[in-house]
Amino acid sequence: MQLLIDFGNTRIKWALLQEGELCFGDEAIYTEVELAPLFENWWIDLSAPASVLCASVAEQTCFAQLEQWCRQRWQLPVTLLQAVSRQQGVINAYAEAHTLGSDRWVALIAAHRLTDQHVGVIDCGSAITVDLLRADGVHQGGYIVPGLWMMQRCLLERTGQINTAPSLSDDLAPGDSSGSCISHGALRSVTALLDRLMVDLQSRYDNRLQWLLTGGDAAHIQAHLRQPGRLVPDLVLQGLACVAQE
């Protein structure tokens, strides 16, 4: 049994890999002070895994808490995955391969396993990342833009006269308050960008580009997109499972 962890900036997910089967565990939005109690709640009764493999873009202090907990509980180190130049048939577009986020890297590995077509991976987390992968496994690079929450927080931090909190909107209509203008505007911005991107890139791939969406806000964003995309919530964990089975 192997413990697999997708450790994002605001959300953490985990699963167990047992005899080739991926068994989803749980997920949560976290703050740094909540991590140790969260680990206790999740894993206090879990038998020691053979290994712990993690794709992390979290703050180093957060990852350190995970490593400390696993060492104290199971006397196990946490293997922190890092992107490389080539793995599982995927070739990294970055000149400095290790600087590609490990979550993006394993998502590409999982996407390459899921489809034999050209594929675009949209990860809707704190930041929204888009990565393009040819059918032959060659990574074509991508884009990084602020996610729904980050976009709103950045705006609110720089506008002292607006006294509201970020919120998740289902409405693309014009807002009737500063708060709704900001939340509706964030959703409108993200969906407009992705819709345009999804259309523009199809011609580059002979209209055979398949889109996969993952990340904490993926289902919410997908509901407002005009272009079709497949929702794969555990894409990063699937990629970790591919690497773990090496």
Q: Which residues are catalytic?
A: 103
Does residue 150 lie within any of the structural domains? Answer: yes
| Per-residue model confidence (pLDDT) at position 240 | 98
Say whether both 128 and 204 belong to one domain.
yes
Q: With respect to residue 75, please indicate whether it lies within any of the assigned structural domains.
A: yes
Which amino acid is present at 144? I
The total number of structural domains in the chain stands at: 2
Whether 99 is covered by a domain: the verdict is no
Residue 6 lies in a domain: yes
Identify which of 115, 104, 94, 92 has the alpha carbon closest to the alpha carbon of residue 209.
Answer: 115
- pTM for the structure as a whole: 0.93
**Domain assignment present for 246:** no
96, part of any domain: no
Full residue range of the structural domain in which residue 60 is found = 2-80
Is 200 within the bounds of a domain? Answer: yes
- pLDDT < 70: residue spans in the chain: none
What's residue 181's pLDDT? Answer: 87
Considering the domain boundaries, does residue 222 fall inside one? yes
Q: Which pLDDT does position 172 carry in this prediction? A: 81
- Residue-averaged pLDDT of the chain: 94
In this prediction, residue 201 carries a pLDDT of 93
Q: Is residue 121 located within the same domain as residue 228?
A: yes
> For residue range 109-132, what is the model confidence (pLDDT) as tens digits?
999 999 999 999 999 999 999 999
Residue 205 has a CB neighbour count (10 Å cut-off) of 17
pLDDT at 131 (0 to 100): 98
Please report the pLDDT score of residue 175 as a whole number. Answer: 83
> H/E/C letters for each residue in the chain?
CEEEEEECCCEEEEEEEECCEEEEEEEEECCHHHHHHHHHHHHCCCCCCCEEEEEECCCHHHHHHHHHHHHHHHCCCEEECCCCCEECCEECCCCCHHHCCHHHHHHHHHHHHHCCCEEEEEEECCEEEEEEECCCCEEEEEEEEECHHHHHHHHHHCCCCCCCCCCCCCCCCCCCCHHHHHHHHHHHHHHHHHHHHHHHHHHHHCCCEEEEEECCCHHHHHCCCCCCCEECCCHHHHHHHHHHCC
CA separation (Å) from 12 to 30, 96, 130, 232? 7, 26, 20, 16
What is the domain-level CATH number for residue 175? 3.30.420.40
Together in a domain, 125 and 217 = yes
